[in-house]
Amino acid sequence: MAIRVAINGYGTIGKRVANAIAAQDDMTVAGVTKTGPSFGCELAVRRGFPLYCTSDEPGHITAFSAGGYDCAGGLSDLLGAADVVVDCSPGKMGGENLARYHAAGLKAIFQGGEPHSLTGLSYSSSANHEANLGADATRVVSCNTTGLSRTLVPLYDHCGSLKVECTLVRRAADPGDSRKGPINAIKPVLKVPSHHGPDLMTVKPEIEINSLAVAVPTTIMHVHSIIADLPKGHGLTTESVIEMWKETPRVIVMHGGDSRLTTTAEVMEMARDIGRKWGDLHEIFVWEDGAKLVGDRLYYFQAIHQESDVVPENVDAIRALMGTEPDWRASVARTDAAITACYGTG
Amino acid sequence: MAIRVAINGYGTIGKRVANAIAAQDDMTVAGVTKTGPSFGCELAVRRGFPLYCTSDEPGHITAFSAGGYDCAGGLSDLLGAADVVVDCSPGKMGGENLARYHAAGLKAIFQGGEPHSLTGLSYSSSANHEANLGADATRVVSCNTTGLSRTLVPLYDHCGSLKVECTLVRRAADPGDSRKGPINAIKPVLKVPSHHGPDLMTVKPEIEINSLAVAVPTTIMHVHSIIADLPKGHGLTTESVIEMWKETPRVIVMHGGDSRLTTTAEVMEMARDIGRKWGDLHEIFVWEDGAKLVGDRLYYFQAIHQESDVVPENVDAIRALMGTEPDWRASVARTDAAITACYGTG
Amino acid sequence: MAIRVAINGYGTIGKRVANAIAAQDDMTVAGVTKTGPSFGCELAVRRGFPLYCTSDEPGHITAFSAGGYDCAGGLSDLLGAADVVVDCSPGKMGGENLARYHAAGLKAIFQGGEPHSLTGLSYSSSANHEANLGADATRVVSCNTTGLSRTLVPLYDHCGSLKVECTLVRRAADPGDSRKGPINAIKPVLKVPSHHGPDLMTVKPEIEINSLAVAVPTTIMHVHSIIADLPKGHGLTTESVIEMWKETPRVIVMHGGDSRLTTTAEVMEMARDIGRKWGDLHEIFVWEDGAKLVGDRLYYFQAIHQESDVVPENVDAIRALMGTEPDWRASVARTDAAITACYGTG
Amino acid sequence: MAIRVAINGYGTIGKRVANAIAAQDDMTVAGVTKTGPSFGCELAVRRGFPLYCTSDEPGHITAFSAGGYDCAGGLSDLLGAADVVVDCSPGKMGGENLARYHAAGLKAIFQGGEPHSLTGLSYSSSANHEANLGADATRVVSCNTTGLSRTLVPLYDHCGSLKVECTLVRRAADPGDSRKGPINAIKPVLKVPSHHGPDLMTVKPEIEINSLAVAVPTTIMHVHSIIADLPKGHGLTTESVIEMWKETPRVIVMHGGDSRLTTTAEVMEMARDIGRKWGDLHEIFVWEDGAKLVGDRLYYFQAIHQESDVVPENVDAIRALMGTEPDWRASVARTDAAITACYGTG
């Protein structure tokens, strides 16, 4: 029987996770929540997802009808109809929500905006799927951490140790957000080292890592400039690292010069061509000609689609918590095949 | 039997027109052309479109094999397998190409980058479908002219005369183009009045119109600020104009304040939500709360998705030239239903 | 004896007005106010402007000493040492402030962020200097209105009547503001017609004018696209209009193609070259090759440096209120010569 | 007697170097060159700099008169009236030009766009002034290398060894350039490691350094994210490093949080406030709260005004080549005092 998944919060991440779950044959969307009637409700209705209210207050629930939408009930009703909940709430409501999920007897998955301490357990498919098997609650790490995990974990697995420094050049606002700036400036994150890199250690404590971050006036992707120190005797070459990544799930390696995909603009255009909904790119993009091993020090660039790279990880995390698929590679293959069949031939 | 359509040029417009044609049940993609092996070939292969070379030279054709792509022949071969050709060539190669199409006995459709004088006939679905019935060659007007046509032709049809001034605030580069600027400037088109507005008269000569244009540092949409002088006794109100547009095909009217779609960023995000490939929005977006009739002068704003609004017009233009659908409204309904069924529920 | 001018508020406009006043030989800066110790105090100290606190509260005043700045007292103290006050407060504190200025027996000048109704009188040097002679309080109109006044008033004065429509393409944030967006969008001002154009009628009621406005992702200038309908028998040509503007104070007319100043980026660079402080351009920039008279309808573009074009108007407004210079052209010439001598050879 | 300096090329760098030289009392501008009549000539005339033609061809020289400018002759004439030449040519004309300068018996200074191999000697005031004393020709390193030199050389001088990795987040176009993009993308420099960091070793070979670079859609400054590994026993703390930089010439250290200068937008606004021509900031800006020493690894951010930081270095380089000031600190103090007296109280 399919796993019934509640999506609490139907915004940038929630709407994508709902679609990805709907594409799987071992799980189903029990419902999604909105705070009130809005265009997001329209989307849920078109997709046939049962619509619930974030709140249990009758007044809030009936407001949906006034806006022309059928509301199936409050969050408690949704939790009663589900086996697991994916929390995609915007704010930092994790603590309050976790108590409710526990009370309802549900397993729960949070997003990277919440602290690791909320659940004491974090998740990234390639890093620690096994450690999450059967757990009550976990946190899928952020888009940046997920991106670092994708390329660094296989390196670590080969080398047995890894010391990393990276600079995260971040988009300052998402494409649908017109309020945030800057229009013409670079904004360093003055807390150094930044929290971004070390967050990787919540899913792979063996990797030593620090980071610096700057925000820049673009909306479409983050770019990481990464320096990884490999241990002596690693036996790798630039070419063999590239080969390793080409065989890594959810990593795309392309030669920027040959493909003319030399900036995030062209990479995102390629993603639109592939045809997933929202023009998403779940994979991390690595420039083949931007990677070089100099002695034991590896330099490379990767681009991260901040809106979508964590989406398939949420699907895998459901299988981990429910204990239905102990092998991370099997889960990843199943997740990706289903998404691709529905939403584009990545 | 389905109309066999050749697409000469498979870039920003060509790839979209090919997909839109493939979604129709009365036409089929005979093939698409590329100048040489590239990522665009990959797209064509994935979609199952026969791949041809823009040139007939054997050396150019065999280069595709070297790049790993099957090439079915040169442009002449493609023309021999088609009933009509849609020219989506990048440069101003219209004259040369038209001669080839004629020599091959094919009807031909050009894009708005070519001058009206090339064919002596232009096309916009709502403006002059009937005048294009059975013609040998036509030109689908540009994204801006198509946008003006969508909202002004129904106004003209109601009023019987119309004088228009507009300022076109244009995106300076497409999303996939990282080379063009400006990064931080406004660039007026110093030829005044600009050619954009008067181009509408190639499909609706009765509308008097002039325009001014500026380019601004954004990639996602054009915005038109429009002033239309209605004749005395027009009998319209702001509300009845809004109603008229709501009933007009390929126009979306939404209240910016209520929907929170107050900039082109949020409008494009809505388009991504709707789910058409590339996040396209074929419709013109009009802000309900940005339109006002003051005396006989109508003020309004509309947003144009420059990459896609002409795509369904190309499909309709094929039916016009082939003479298979004399009623423009019937063609539009058929085109849009097919696109929506395949690529999202707009 | 020099007119003693208090500057209440020492931010984007206040710091510029203070410098412009200090450059004149018939007026002197009695002092400037800040809300507390900050980098702006440093600027005032370097320039030798007496530093006062916006508030009269002793605790606020002594806070300056803690920050290392000598504070000469509260606003009341400053008002007691001045003949006229220029209000450059950020918020909409006009009503409250006006009462204080009146109580202190001072004449007062407000900025365009305040409504005309505050003073019942507005000011633009070329439009209505005479009407402001000896007045108790006035409002220098906004940067956009000042820009419209500069080019439209001489046209009106020649023609005797004028009907104008314009689209204001506005910078979305100032150069030193990193918080505001959008990064990649166009934002129409959905109130149509916008308030910007009609504000011109507060200084020149005879000109009929409406406007539409959009904000775009740039920081450096506004661009106006303007359509002016001249009355029959105006006797003007494109060339004679250009000549008229070349003889108009605070208007720069240049040929974009010949000078390669084709966008606001190059215009602002020219301003930096001229050498006024902050790279300011007090003049309105009109593209000679972007102006054209078609029948009785004049089309043109102009660029407005939003941070500085009202600065010399504030100086002239002081002379108007104090009644020391009844001739607007004489005041303008005196103001500009003094600024140029100190801060660049514009 | 004052050193007579020829400036060959009067663009972004040339116009600034000319002004800086004119501010010194031990040197004078012998003349500047332009390729033909343009707005740049206007600037030279206003400043009283003799105007020469880049070419010696009579036709080119007389073209200036046609444009309304007095031209004092060709490049050869200028070289004949000078003791040293600063080459600010746009293109890579270094080889050709060097031969001409040598033939004229002049010492020559090139900019960082030329390769080190042209002269076999490079220059940065704090790094190797002494090594340049009396040399025939040198190259002032680029804006990025100059910036790295300013903060890393004192660190090296203290520690005796230094290993550095940095990511250069670069502005994609200068403020006056409206043609270059990207508008909405991040562009990694795919050659890794990039040439930028190692260029520091042309002036300070003892510092081991590598770099990665990305270009972003901003016009106003570069930001460097830097990781420096200090040797054991360095004896430094975060605070003592900050103190060291506060005492270093041409480095400004400010607390971003306290001063609210948290992005390059606010830093450049501070520079405009200071009042140097063009709103320049010759100093490197280091965020005090963005620097942290973790063990022996120092993390910090700095911002570079790409248009102007090399300007005072050119003045110092003249004294080095002419042998008139053997002490770099004395030259720097003299240069900066003169610039500040003329152009703002930085």
pLDDT, tens only, A92-125: 788 899 999 999 999 999 999 999 999 999 999 9
Tell me which H or E stretch contains B74.
Answer: none
The mean pLDDT value of chain B amounts to 95
Write down the catalytic residue from D41, D71, D88, D143: D143
Q: At the topology level of CATH, where does B143-304 sit?
A: Dihydrodipicolinate Reductase; domain 2 (3.30.360)
Give tens-digit pLDDT for C130-156: 999 999 999 999 999 999 999 999 999
CB pairs under 8 A between A and D: 145
DSSP helix/strand/coil, D94: helix
pLDDT of residue C346: 41
pLDDT bucket at B151, cuts 50 / 70 / 90 = very high
Order of all β-strands in the sheet with D84-87:
D51-53, D27-34, D3-8, D84-87, D107-110, D137-140, D122-123
Cα separation, D39 vs D176, in Å, equals 13
Question: Taking a contact as any Cβ pair under 8 Å apart, which residues of chain B between 162 and 181 contact chain D?
Answer: 172-173, 175, 177-181
pLDDT in tens, B274-300: 999 999 999 999 999 999 999 999 999
Mean pLDDT of B113-122: 96
User: Helix C12-22 crosses helix C311-322 at what angle (to 10 degrees)?
Assistant: 60
CA dist C248 and C269 (Å) reads 23
Residues in C touching A217 (Cβ below 8 Å): 183, 217
Query: Model confidence over B123-133: pLDDT tens digits?
Result: 999 999 999 99
Q: Would the pLDDT of A39 be above 90?
A: no
pLDDT recorded at residue B84: 98
**C279 at D interface, C-beta within 8 A:** yes
Could you read off the pLDDT of B300-321 as tens digits, one per residue? 999 999 999 999 999 999 999 9
Residue C186 and residue B264: Cβ atoms within 8 Å? yes
Name the nearest CA neighbour of D281 among D306, D300, D248, D302.
D306
> Given a cut of 50, is residue B99 above it in pLDDT?
yes
The partner residue sitting opposite B290, judged by closest CB among C192, C210, C299, is C192
pLDDT at residue B120 in the model: 97
How far apart are the C-alpha atoms of B236 and B239, rounded to whole Å?
A: 8
Mean pLDDT, residues B231-252 = 97
**Measuring CA to CA, which residue among C77, C9, C7, C4 is closest to residue C38?**
C9
pLDDT at D7: 98
Question: How many CB pairs (< 8 A) connect A and C?
Answer: 47
Indicate whether C181 pLDDT > 80.
Answer: yes
Contacts for A266-269 with beta carbons within 8 Å, 24 or more apart? A266/B176, A266/B178, A266/D185, A267/A221, A267/A303, A268/A220, A268/A221, A268/A305, A268/B175, A268/B176, A268/D185, A269/B175, A269/B176
Q: How far is B10 from chain A (nearest CA, A)?
A: 12
Burial class (CB in 10 A: 0-12, 13-18, 19+), A58: exposed
Task: Among A177, A184, A268, select the one facing B175 at the smallest CB separation.
Answer: A268
Instruction: Decide: B74 and B61 in contact? Cβ < 8 Å.
Output: yes
Are C185 and B210 in contact (CB < 8 Å)? no
Q: Where are the beta strands (DSSP E) in chain B?
A: 3-8, 27-34, 51-53, 84-87, 107-110, 122-123, 137-140, 163-171, 187-188, 208-216, 222-229, 251-254, 284-287, 292-294, 297-304
Contact across the interface for A272 and B273, Cβ inside 8 Å: no
D262 touches chain A (CB under 8 A): yes
Task: Establish if A291 touches chain D: CB-CB under 8 angstroms.
Answer: yes
Q: How many beta-carbon contacts under 8 Å exist across C and D?
A: 70
A178 to chain C: which residues are within 8 Å by CB? 181-182, 185, 187
Report d(CA C74, CA C52) in Å as an integer. 5
pLDDT per residue as tens, chain D (346 positions)? 899 999 999 999 999 999 999 999 999 999 999 999 988 898 999 999 999 999 999 999 999 988 899 999 999 999 999 999 999 998 678 889 999 999 999 999 999 999 999 999 999 999 999 999 999 999 999 999 999 999 999 999 999 999 999 999 999 999 999 999 999 999 999 999 988 889 999 999 999 999 999 999 999 999 999 999 999 999 999 999 999 999 999 999 999 998 889 999 999 999 999 999 999 999 999 999 999 999 999 999 999 999 999 999 999 999 999 999 999 999 999 999 999 988 775 4
CA-closest candidate to residue D227, choices D294, D287, D171, D286: D294
Query: Measured between CB atoms, does B81 come within 8 Å of chain D?
Result: no
Please state, rounded to an integer, the average pLDDT across all residues of chain C.
Answer: 95
Tokens for A82, please give them. Answer: 């589900």
Give me the catalytic one of C143, C159, C166, C342: C143
pLDDT digits (tens, 9 = 90+) for C82-111: 999 999 998 678 889 999 999 999 999 999
pLDDT at B119: 96
Tokens 């004192």: give the residue.
Answer: D154
Residue of C nearest to A218 (CA): C183
Domain boundaries, chain B: 3-141+310-343, 143-304
Given pLDDT bands bounded at 50, 70 and 90, which one contains residue C305? Answer: very high
Burial class (CB within 10 angstroms; exposed 0-12, middle 13-18, buried 19+) of B60 = middle
Residues 6+ apart with CB under 8 A from B284: B147, B150, B151, B250, B251, B252, B302, B303, B304, B309
Q: Which CATH superfamily is domain C3-141+310-343 in?
A: NAD(P)-binding Rossmann-like Domain (3.40.50.720)
- CB proximity A229 to D under 8 Å: no
C-alpha B256/C-alpha B290 separation (Å) is: 8
Q: Which residue of B has its CA nearest to A183?
A: B184
- Report the residue from C260, C273, C277 with minimal CB separation from D43: C273
Please report residues of A whose CB lies closer than 8 A to that of C178: 181-182, 185, 187
The DSSP code sequence of D212-236 is EEEEES-SS-EEEEEEEEPPTT---
Are the beta carbons of B300 and C192 separated by less than 8 Å? yes
* pLDDT tens-digit map of C236-246: 999 999 999 99
B185, closest residue in chain A (CA to CA): A184
**Alpha-carbon span C6 to C12, nearest angstrom:** 16
pLDDT of residue B345: 54
In this prediction, residue A1 carries a pLDDT of 81
- Summarize pLDDT for A233-260 with one digit per residue, the tens: 999 999 999 999 999 999 999 999 988 8
Structure confidence at residue A346 as a pLDDT band (50, 70, 90): very low
C18, HSE (Cβ side, Cα atoms, 13 Å): 28
Question: Closest Cα partner for A216 from B272, D146, D220, D294?
Answer: D220
Q: At D255, list the tokens.
A: 């607390």
Is the distance from CB of B266 to CB of B281 less than 8 angstroms? no
Buried-state track B280-300, b at ≥16 Cβ within 10 A, e below 16: bbbbbbbbbbbbebeeebbbb
The tens digit of pLDDT for each residue in B3-37 reads 999 999 999 999 999 999 999 999 999 999 999 99
Check C181 against A173: CB less than 8 A apart. yes
Instruction: Give the closest of C43, C184, C259 to D273, CB-based.
Output: C43
C159 classed as catalytic = no
Does ipTM surpass 0.90 in this model?
yes
The answer to whether the beta carbons of residues D316 and D328 sit under 8 Å apart is yes
CB B44 within 8 A of CB B89: no
* Three-state SS at A10: coil
> Average per-residue pLDDT in chain A?
95
Helix (H, G, I), strand (E, B) or coil at A23: coil
Query: Average of pLDDT values for C268-289?
Result: 96
Is the distance from CB of B92 to CB of B68 less than 8 angstroms?
A: no
Task: Determine the average pLDDT of the residues in C16-39.
Answer: 95
Contact predicate D30/D5, CB 8 Å? yes
d(CA D334, CA C44): 26
Nearest to A265 among B178, B184, B260 (CB): B178
Two tokens, residue C49 = 């402007």
Asked if the Cβ–Cβ distance from B188 to C294 is below 8 Å, we say no
